[in-house]
Amino acid sequence: MTGFLVATIIARFILHGQVPYNLKPGVIEMPKQKTHKGIKKRFKLTASGKAKHRNAFRGHLLSHKSAKQKRQLRKGGLVEGKEAVTIRDALRPAS
């Protein structure tokens, strides 16, 4: 890359509030993808890469719910479809 082109790209990064991690001559690396902390608190990935979630309606006000309902809510669920892909990408280790 020419010096002018590198300077233009760096100026664009700075304009948008991003600074490339590595400023080797001619090489520009984008900032690493960060783990989404809100998703990290709510979902876990299984060994096969599926996203597990905790069931709703289990936090409080359990006294009026039947034993059967509470027992069935113990099991977590799996996220499916495009949402699973989004969660997997958000939890992917930074590389």
CATH number for the domain spanning 66: value is: 4.10.410.60
Distance from C-alpha of 1 to C-alpha of 25, rounded to nearest angstrom: 9
The pLDDT value given to residue 78: 92
For residue 4, pLDDT beyond 90: no
**Distance separating alpha carbons of residues 35 and 91, to the nearest angstrom:** 5
Domain range enclosing 15: 1-31
**Number of domains present in the structure of the chain:** 2
Residue 61 sits in the same domain as residue 38: yes
pTM beyond 0.75: the answer is: no
Name which residue leads in pLDDT, 76 or 5: 76
Taking 90 as the threshold, does the pLDDT of residue 92 lie above it? no
3-state secondary structure labels for all residues of 56-84: CCCCCCCCCCCHHHHHHHCCCEECCCHHH
Dihedral in degrees, nearest 10, Cα atoms 48, 80, 54, 46: 0
Per-residue pLDDT band for 79 (boundaries 50, 70, 90) equals very high
Q: How far apart are CA 93 and CA 91, in angstroms?
A: 6
37 or 6: which carries more pLDDT confidence?
37
Sequence-separated (6 or more) residues with CB below 8 Å from residue 83: 51
Question: What is the C-alpha separation between 51 and 76, in angstroms, rounded?
Answer: 10
88 has a pLDDT exceeding 80: yes
Same domain, 25 and 58: no
Claim to verify: residue 39 and residue 68 sit in the same structural domain: yes
| Residue 8 banded pLDDT, cuts 50, 70, 90 | confident
